[in-house]
Structure 1
Amino acid sequence: MKIYTSNLIGVESNCVYPNEVNAVDVRSFEKAASFDHVMAKYKNSYRSNDNFIESECVPMDIDNDHSENPDDWISANDLKGIFYGVKFVIVYSRNHRKEKNGKAARPRMHIYFPIPKITNLAEYVGIKESLAETYTFFDGNALDGARFFFGVKNPAVEIVRGRKYITEILKDDFEDFDNSQDLIQQGSRNSTMNHFAGRVLIRYGKTDEARELFDKKASLCSPPLEDEELEQIWKSACKFYKKVAASEDYVPPEEYNERYEEYKPEKLTDIAMAEIFTKHNKDKAIYTISQGWLYWTGKKWEDSELKVMSLYMETAKKVLENASIEFKETYQELADAEMMGNKEEKAQAKLKVNTAKAYLNFAKKMNDHGKVSGILKLAKSLLEVKNEKLDADAFILNTPVGVIDLKTSEIKEHDPSYYCTKMTALAPSKDNMDMWIDTLRDVTGGDDEFINFLKFHAGSTLIGHVYEEALLIAYGDGGNGKSTVFNSEAHVLGDYAGKIPAESLTTRAKNVKVDLAELCGKRFILASETEEGQRLSSSMLKQIASVDDISAERKYYAPFSFTPTHSTILYTNHLPKVGSNDRGTWRRIVVAPFSVAIKNPKTDYIDKLLEKAGGAILQWMIEGAKEYIDAGFKYPKCNVVDDAKRSYKEENDWINHFISDKCIKGTNYKEMSARLYQVYREWAGSNGEYIRNNRDFSRALIAEGYEKKRTNRGIEWGGISINDLMESEDDFL
């Protein structure tokens, strides 16, 4: 905005202001405010109403002379609340916090409201009059078009950022008034009634209450306006109101009042603010112990504390807006009471102002960034959702186009009450389904029974409940398509899919609790490539392929437990060794052999497959889920799968391999425990086998039906003995 200065300071008689300053920042404002200055351009730089040319700034003066009670004085912070969203500048006057005319020191300041350039003196003065009439704390004696401000030594300048001009707040768009309205629009009576009529209609709507307030205001005109003129003002204002009410941004009075009350805390306390936040964001934010704050995106609950913090700031901003409105309205009520109320009405109006001021100060405090974490901490208990509620419905699958009921394949609309924290990467589609089926035929050698098994298995991974305590091990030499199949399935499942290191499944596993945490809430877990010779951990197998709760840990969070919802797939070129022969281990192992070598495999094939047929892959899996459910949650018979498991188990039957190589069996045979174990150790070492301890060795023999007992000679096994003939042959060789 442009400000014009003299070369003097503190000279009231001066009228010449020849120096133009473009005040755009603190430094340029300090330069302008250091000298006596005006906020309008005048002919020949000579300050007078007759010489007014233009202005880009409305200056207002606050002396706080309206009361001797410090609680009634307007501060800079009060102004920020009253004119929330409006751009203006505060410069403290030369008598700020000083005694003046026998009155105690108090805040005194000059307010500069930037406005679009204006060249009409009457319009310019009208803005100042409207401000003084609406906000009675402004000096009503400083409203002419040739007002100047004294310069201040070392001025203190504060620029208040905003998006609106003050004229937007005061603007009464009566462009549609007819000619007769233009003829009577003279003097402050008409402009005041025009302004009030528009304001009261917007605030209360076209109601009897609005008309009563208009007539009450009109009774203050002196001399009174003719009834005919008042009626014309009212009709024109109603015409204007009709135009405003048709706007998309207009909020009806009844809805406005409801909103206004909804954002006002019952008490001015942090917990009351937390309750307001909860009230308006219960469908947008929840808190869980395992994941912290979650934010509703419109399709799923997303882990995002920053977005929840943004929700709080939006809520706090609305509370501040409402507090600002209430403060303005109570000031207007006080102004009306001062003009026309009795003593009791004035006292009540003053009490309302003080209450509104306290509310405004509270609302400002709630907008401080330092308050965010404190209020959200209080809101945790109000918005807490138990971990088990997240993704609790095992038979729904969240996709970008809606929530799919896996039992019926029906698509439902997204809803926060489903508590879905995950969503597939793609929407299901039947487009290019033949491309996916051709891929399956290639990798299985056209084995329809195997393809059907893979479809059932893929479908079972979509269900958030464990019906098959199984680890699927897909194995085969490289270049046979197994990684294409399972990585494609994992990709389309998006958030529902996860990965764990293959090492987590072996006896070399580290950080098991952390790895297990990755399983929480997932449905499809993929591990790839165990090293040759690695041993499968039976204990880990029984945790990841189980219906029992799993204990886990996440960094920076407390340990927790969860009910498994996942299926695990390991694809590898090397089948891990299985050291346990117990039923609990082998009933959990499913082996899918990929034995077809793909000729001339394309390195970028999976990318093209997902691009063209990603939706079809998901559709195929959804169909598989329904078929699996309809079949009673059982996989179909598949010969290649059964044969592969049988062969795998035989290969890993180390105890019977040892017995076959080194022992003879029969009811009459006996062997000392120490010798039997020693021969086993030698056998295992010579064959490159893992050497188990004596306890595991004994358990394996017991599992095979052998018994040991203590005798006079020591502990011996019955029904088995070292084949000394074989031993002597080995010694000879």
Structure 2
Amino acid sequence: MTAHTRSDAEREAIAKCAAEPEHDIGNARRFLIWAGHDVRHVTHVGWHAFDGQRWQEDESGAIVRRLAHNAAEAIFEEAKILAPSIADQEKIDAAKIARESLVAPFDARGASREDMLKHTADRKAWADAIAAAEIAEERVAEKRGTRLRHAKSTCGSSKITNMLAEAAAYRPASVDDLNTDLYAFNVGNGTLRFSRTEDEESDPQDPRYRWDVRLDPHNRDDLISKLAPVDYLDNAQRPKAWEKFLVRVQPSKPMRDYLQRLTGYALLGLNTEQMIAFFFGIGRNGKSTFVDTLARIFADYAVTLSIDSFAGEDRRSGAEATPDLARLPGARLVAASEPESGVRFKEALIKRLTGGEALAVRRLHQDFFEFSPQFTLIVSGNHKPVIVGNDDGIWRRIHLVPWNEQIPKDEVDKELPRKLLAEAPGILKWAVEGAIDFLNSGGLHPPRDILDATQEYREEEDPIGSFIRSACDITGDESDQEKPFDLYMAYDRYCVATGTVKVKDTTFYRRLPDAARRTWPSPDGTTSQQFHKAKTNGTPVYRGLRVRDEWIGRGMADQTGKEGTG
């Protein structure tokens, strides 16, 4: 862009830049004069640029580098307006007067001797002034030449890099500075904000509150770095194809209501539920279509990771990069799919990701930084991951969501993904309604189908725990005691009756001490109790529990001559 096409604001920027020195720090300030309002440098992540809707991460560096190019090329225009110093300007002004005086007529014929001497002295002074001005003008020309050489140098690749490196110190931000409003969700035509207001019809002495949503204009000061490029329309048409799809794959209305609340919960940056949803079912059941559609609508807010991030063997050392997890800051929906049979959940990581605990991650060739998870985690698959831990710390987080409807091959609509995305505004409104339902009802409230499926999953993963919960009373009373072998025989009866997969007796005895270290609900469910290993007359027993009458098989040890030691 040439100087004569510059706007007033651009000419003002050139004038400001002209006052900056000719080194890397000066160039950094030039960059900030031109583009500082639109850029932030996030520590350990990189440059972000405001595009009118969000602070977009400049992953390739192309955005800020182009802005730096503009700042560098404008230095050529600085040279044209570089002004002389005050002293040099005075010399130039004096020379102008001197030149005018030199050409002014002087009548020597009638001049006195004193006039002649004065005129001679004046002419010398004028000549000296002109000579001084020429030196001053040479200095200005040299100054402009130096600025032109600096402009040419600054346009070099290394100088552009230096400019950006120094500018980063003036526009710093951390990951925690971004996306701080957990009740804000950025969409194509503004920012959705969920807020609580007092119900006008409620009693002032006992006020009720309700949650609602409003649409605000995009605001750079919000420091939002994510965008779902779908317009929120309060009068959006009902997503009929979406609703028909949900009815087909989840016939139960309580299940559909839960999925709507779950989707709304994912719009928010909350971790109050401390949960992970596991979508389970064989193929052609709609779970992948559901998640993929939401991920497309969530766009920046959605991250899809390999199941290896959350399950399997974790062979990374504490110092290794975690580029997969480093993608998670600011995400609201994180999806992974298709764990192989027998793969184990990384339970400690799951607890941290769903509990809101700060997590240290780092990108390749970068330093570690911490962030607080703000996302809902959904894992989908045909195989349930193995959960080794038997504690409530992991199991209370699991929502096993069954997808039991298998679509016949001749019913599969290959155009369905396209049809669903065409209803994106309606699906977004459906999700917003789910968020308001979640907020007003105070939780996800998984229906009985999910609670039962999760409990069954837990019993599959922990057959001994299932037996203790369902066939024993944990009283904590020292007078209640059972021999290890009697416990195993009751366990054997329980497995046969319930179809539970049975572990070998040696495995049962080895795991009993671990079970004794856990807390269990008391018979009336009001307290937590434990049992412990002891000896009675030299015989190993477990005190503080008793097998319920329907599972008792006394005396079998004597008949078989075999006694477990547990």
Fold conserved (TM > 0.5)? Answer: yes
Please show how residues 556-571 of structure 1 align to structure 2 within 5 Å: 556-571=365-380
Alpha-carbon contact 1:504-1:515 (below 8 Å) kept: yes
2:30 corresponds to which letter in structure 1?
A: I
Whole-angstrom CA distance in 2 between matches of 1:250 and 1:664: 84
Question: Which structure ranks higher in relative contact order (CA pairs < 8 Å, sequence separation ≥ 6)?
Answer: 2
After TM superposition, list the pairs within 5 Å mapping 1:114-263 onto structure 2: 249=5, 251=7, 258-263=12-17
Q: Deviations over 1:270-310 (max 9, x none)?
A: 21221221232222221112311222223222232122111
Q: Percent identity?
A: 22
Alignment of 1:324 onto 2:80: yes
Measure how far apart 1:257 and its partner are: 5.8
Distance 1:655 1:723, change over 3 A: farther
Q: Select 2:218's aligned residue among 404, 408, 414.
A: 414
Question: Match of 2:334, SS?
Answer: strand
Q: CA distance change for structure 1 residues 515 and 351 in 2, over 3 Å: closer, same or farther?
A: closer
From the superposition, tell whether residues 501 and 511 of structure 1 become closer, same or farther in structure 2 (CA, over 3 Å).
farther
**Counterpart pick for 1:708 among 512, 533, 538:** 533
1:295–1:307 Cα contact (<8 Å) kept: yes
**1:667 corresponds to 2:455:** no
On the 8 A contact 2:264/2:436 being kept in 1, the answer is yes
Letter paired with 2:150 = F
Match of 1:459 in 2: 264
Structure-2 separation of matches of 1:400 and 1:310: 25
For residues 268 and 561 of structure 2, the distance between their equivalents in structure 1, rounded to whole angstroms, comes to 55
Distance 1:730 1:286 in 2: 77
User: Matched residues in 2 for 1:543 and 1:614: separation?
Assistant: 32
Counterpart among 264, 268, 277 of residue 472 in structure 1: 277
Query: How far did residue 501 of structure 1 move?
Result: 2.2
Distance 2:481 2:261 in 1: 50
Give the distance between the partners of 1:609 and 1:692, measured in 2 at CA: 53
1:108-139 Cα distance to aligned partner (Å, 9 max, x none)? xxxxxxxxxxxxxxxxxxxxxxxxxxxxxxxx
Shift of 1:662: 12
**Retained in 2: the 8 A contact 1:662–1:727?**
no
Give 1:585 deviation, angstroms.
1.4
Q: Secondary structure at the match of 2:182?
A: coil
Deviation digits for residues 399-434 of structure 1 (CA, Å, limit 9, x no counterpart): 222222233432222232222222114334524511
Cα 1:534/1:259, change in 2 over 3 Å? closer
TM-score scaled to structure 1, two decimals? Answer: 0.57
Tell me how far apart the structure 1 counterparts of residues 14 and 307 of structure 2 sit (CA, whole Å). Answer: 57
C-alpha separation in 2, matches of 1:654 and 1:522: 36
**What residue number does 1:292 align with?**
46
Which of 446, 450, 459 pairs up with 1:641?
A: 450
What amino acid does structure 2 have at the position aligned with 1:539? A
Q: After the TM superposition, which segments of 4 or more aligned residues of structure 1 sit over 6 Å from their partners? A: 327-331, 333-336, 658-666, 688-696, 710-716, 720-724, 726-731
Structure 1 residues 603 and 326, CA, compared in 2 at 3 Å: closer, same or farther? same
Deviation at 1:603, TM superposition (A): 5.0
Distance 1:653 1:730, change over 3 A: farther
SS state of the match for residue 409, structure 1? strand
User: In 1, distance between residues paired with 2:424 and 2:391?
Assistant: 40
**Match in the other structure for 1:156:** none
Q: Distance in 2 between matches of 1:414 and 1:664?
A: 59
In the alignment, structure 1 residue 434 sits paired with structure 2 residue 240: yes
Q: 1:228 maps to which residue?
A: none
Task: Quote the offset at 1:472 in angstroms.
Answer: 0.9
- Deviation per residue, 1:591-633 (Å, 9 max, x gap): 222222334432524422334212322221122222322333x
- Structure 2: gaps (5+ residues): 102-125, 196-211, 496-500, 521-529, 547-552
The aligned residue for residue 340 of structure 2 is: 531
Does the 8 Å CA contact 1:444/1:451 hold for their aligned counterparts? yes
Give the total of aligned pairs.
474
Please say if residues 324 and 360 of structure 1, whose CA atoms lie closer than 8 Å, have aligned partners that are also in contact: no
Hey, what's the Cα distance between the residues in 2 that align with 1:475 and 1:421?
32
Judged with a 3 Å threshold, the aligned counterparts in structure 2 of structure 1 residues 339 and 636 are, in CA distance, closer, same or farther, namely: farther
Q: Secondary structure at the match of 2:444?
A: coil
Counterpart for residue 622 of structure 1: 432
Change (3 A) 1:256 1:389: closer
1:326 maps to amino acid: L
Tell me, yes or no, if the aligned pair for 2:18 and 2:82 is still in contact at 8 Å: no
After superposing the two structures, state which structure 1 stretch, 297-306 or 493-502, moved more: 297-306
RMSD of aligned C-alpha atoms? 4.0
Which letter does structure 1 place at the counterpart of 2:517? I
**CA distances 1:3-31 after superposition (whole Å, capped 9, x unpaired):** xxxxxxxxxxxxxxxxxxxxxxxxxxxxx
State how far apart, in whole Å, the 2-side matches of 1:560 and 1:667 are. Answer: 53
Q: Which residue of 2 aligns with 1:268?
A: 22
| Structure 1 SS opposite 2:357 | coil
In structure 2, relative to structure 1, the CA distance for the partners of 1:701 and 1:728 (3 Å cut) is: farther
Q: Please say if residues 671 and 718 of structure 1, whose CA atoms lie closer than 8 Å, have aligned partners that are also in contact.
A: no
Cα distance in 2 between the residues matched to 1:268 and 1:250: 23
**CA shift for structure 1 position 500:** 2.2
The amino acid of 2:282's aligned partner reads D
Judge conservation of contact 1:265–1:273 (CA < 8 Å) in 2.
no
Contact 2:186–2:192 (8 Å) recurs in 1: yes
Q: Is the 8 A contact 1:709 1:715 kept in 2?
A: yes
Q: 2:535·2:541 contact (CA, 8 Å) conserved in 1? A: yes
Paired position in structure 1 for 2:411? 601
Report if aligned partners of 2:311, 2:344 keep a CA contact under 8 Å in 1.
yes
What's 2:187 paired with?
Answer: 399
Aligned residue among 650, 672, 678 for 2:459: 650
The one-letter amino acid of 1:319's match is I
Alpha-carbon deviation of 1:555? 1.4
Letter in 2 for 1:699: D
The residue identity in structure 2 corresponding to 1:612 is: A
Q: Which residue of 2 aligns with 1:356?
A: 144
Report Cα offsets for 1:687-717 as digits up to 9, x if no partner. Answer: 5799989997533222152213589969874
Residues 196-250 of structure 1, C-alpha deviations (whole Å, 9 max, x = no match): xxxxxx9xxxxxxxxxxxxxxxxxxxxxxxxxxxxxxxxxxxxxxxxxxxxxx47
Q: Give the SS at the match of 1:578.
A: coil
Alpha-carbon distance between aligned partners in 2 of 1:637 and 1:655, rounded to the nearest angstrom: 26
Query: Is 2:198 the counterpart of 1:388?
Result: no
Question: 1:617 & 1:582 partners in 2: Cα distance?
Answer: 37
SS of the aligned residue for 1:526 comes to strand
Q: 2:68: which partner in 1?
A: 312
Q: 3-state SS of the aligned residue for 1:294?
A: strand
Query: Which position in structure 1 is the counterpart of 2:106?
Result: none
> Do the aligned partners of residues 507 and 697 (structure 1) sit closer, same or farther apart at CA in structure 2, a change above 3 Å counting?
farther
Deviation (angstroms), 1:648: 2.7
Which residue in the other structure is 1:424 paired with?
228
Q: Which amino acid aligns with 1:466?
A: N
CA distance in 2, matches of 1:728, 1:554: 64
Deviation at 1:655, TM superposition (A): 1.8
Paired residues of 2:13 and 2:33 also in contact (CA < 8 A): no
Q: Distance in 1 between matches of 2:219 and 2:289?
A: 34
Matched residue type, 1:500: L
CA deviation after TM superposition for structure 1 residue 577, in Å: 3.4
Q: For the Cα contact (< 8 Å) 1:475–1:591, is it kept in 2?
A: yes
Distance in structure 2 (CA, Å) of the matches to 1:340 and 1:729: 131
Unaligned runs of 5+ in 1: 1-83, 86-168, 170-201, 203-248
Given that residues 258 and 446 in structure 2 are in contact (C-alpha distance below 8 angstroms), is that contact kept between their aligned partners in structure 1? yes
